[in-house]
Amino acid sequence: LKENNARHMWHPMAHPADSLANPPDIIVEGEGVEIVDVDGHRTVDAVGGLWNVNLGYSCQPVKDAIAAQLNKLPYYSTFRGTSNDAVIELSAMLRDFFAPDGLSRAFFTSGGSDSVEIALRLARQYHKIRGEAGRVKFLSLKKGYHGTHTLGASVNGNANFRTQYEPLMPGCYHIPAPYTYRNPFNETDPARLAQFCLAALEDEIRFQGAETIAAFIMEPVLGAGGVIPPHESFMPGVRSLCDKYGILLIADEVITAFGRTGSWSGSRHWGVKPEFMCTAKAITNGYFPFGAVMVADGVAEVFENDKSGKGAIGSGYTYSGHPVGAAAAIACLKETERLQVKNNAAARGAELYEGLLKLADKHEAIGDVRGGHGLMCALELVSDRTSKTPVNKQVIGKVHRVTYENGVMVRVSGNNIIMSPPLVLSQQNVQTILSALDAGFEAIA
């Protein structure tokens, strides 16, 4: 298996020159919050698949729902007004769940990149229907990640995810993120930094001309960029600026929706109502590729009441509203609610964050600890705390490897170690993660 993996499987994001790529771990089983590799080595999956396996690997109701739907109706399109019973039930459920946020309609997709792409397109279309066709630009945060499609990649804030594909979409501009550890303002106070970043956003809006801007897109807590939670004033401040200048707010909640931050969604966590909310990942616990863009009541009405013909959506996905995905999502959302996993995410997330802060007291290589908002945490590794020089790949690779040998899978992104474990994590699992990381850092001391 290992040989065939190396020979036949392209691991495009893990270049052979990367110390972590050789060999990639081959996972053959999952049970509860644990995964088992081809050598029989069992680890707590502190990555939660890829931020998506919120309910762990043994969620029987979701597995049963998928099997039952496959036997009943394995596929039918929702493309040209046709529908299926599973997706209708799911739409009603989502509407109820998101009613407090004023998000009344769902556009179904096959994953996070699709959700982002559709939200950005719908934002432009919304302005066109309303006679503001000049609103085509997008603003986003540096360090933000919004998937792999062309519009999404264009608003990605990390140049590494953009430059190799350029030219991407023109008209996308990136604002400094409220990243306290490193920012162009040299500001270490999160509240003041939030104000600087909001001022930068307003400057950019004025510079571009508000009448040219369609939407601002942001993750409520930046994920792939290294788990960067903003100060609590930031997202409400963005909302106010969007209102002031007639700009739509797109919350990219591909990671944060359905409990990860300890709240039902990241937007609700910060008390903000966006016009679009992009979801995917945990909506089916990672068991089926699926996503949904939730659309605000007022925006949906503009599309539905349009008499000019501009309100029809020009193209859609073959797999929009896939009945098996919808059945998986229904079961998943019921379990998410029944188990109230957001409460466990908040409690275990606080314990994990506290434990990581203690690890930082002990290990010099930990320059920054981020978390405190549910089960999303990161450690930023530096070779010197004063200069904040990022550690090299070999060093972080060693921490990763030794942590794995000690029973925990974490994720490496640049010089960050990222954790997004299943939300059904136990107190014992938190301790396992902390002691495995401790061993990982001992190995580079």
Residues that bind ligand PMP (CB under 6 A): 111-113, 116, 145-147, 219, 223-224, 252, 254-255, 280
- The beta strands (E) that lie in 32-171 are given as 34-37, 42-45, 103-109, 137-141
**In terms of CB distance, is 214 or 280 closer to ligand PMP?**
280
* CB 291 to ligand PMP: min, Å: 7
Name the nearest CA neighbour of 206 among 169, 241, 233.
241
**In terms of CB distance, is 292 or 391 closer to ligand PMP?**
292
**In terms of CB distance, is 119 or 198 closer to ligand PMP?**
119
- The residue number whose beta carbon is nearest to ligand PMP equals 112
**In terms of CB distance, is 160 or 186 closer to ligand PMP?**
160
Tokens 């073959």, residue located: 318
**In terms of CB distance, is 52 or 406 closer to ligand PMP?**
52
* CB 152 to ligand PMP: min, Å: 7
**In terms of CB distance, is 220 or 390 closer to ligand PMP?**
220
* CB 21 to ligand PMP: min, Å: 19
**In terms of CB distance, is 5 or 413 closer to ligand PMP?**
413
* CB 113 to ligand PMP: min, Å: 3
Dihedral sign for Cα atoms in the order 70, 72, 78, 84: negative
* CB 115 to ligand PMP: min, Å: 7
* CB 153 to ligand PMP: min, Å: 10
Which run of H or of E encompasses 125?
helix 112-129
Cα 86–Cα 90–Cα 92 angle in degrees, nearest 5: 120
- The beta strands (E) that lie in 58-194 are given as 103-109, 137-141, 172-175
Pull the structure tokens for residue 120.
């950005």
SS3 label, residue 1: coil
Q: Which class for 311: exposed (0-12), middle (13-18), buried (19 or more C-beta within 10 A)?
A: middle
SS3 label, residue 364: coil
- Residue 391's φ and ψ, nearest 5 degrees, are -70, 160
**In terms of CB distance, is 123 or 280 closer to ligand PMP?**
280
Q: Give yes or no for a cis peptide into 12 (omega within 30° of 0).
A: no
CB 141 within 8 A of CB 159: no
* CB 338 to ligand PMP: min, Å: 25
> What span, in angstroms and rounded, lies between the C-alpha atoms of 177 and 173?
12
CB 272 within 8 A of CB 288: no
| Helix ranges (DSSP H) in 130-217 | 150-155, 190-208
What single letter denotes the amino acid at residue 422? P
* CB 258 to ligand PMP: min, Å: 13
- The beta strands (E) that lie in 209-271 are given as 213-218, 248-252
SS3 label, residue 379: strand
Dihedral sign for Cα atoms in the order 240, 244, 247, 248: positive
* CB 175 to ligand PMP: min, Å: 16
* CB 299 to ligand PMP: min, Å: 20
**In terms of CB distance, is 260 or 363 closer to ligand PMP?**
260
**In terms of CB distance, is 214 or 444 closer to ligand PMP?**
214
> What span, in angstroms and rounded, lies between the C-alpha atoms of 282 and 260?
9
- Residue 328's φ and ψ, nearest 5 degrees, are -60, -45
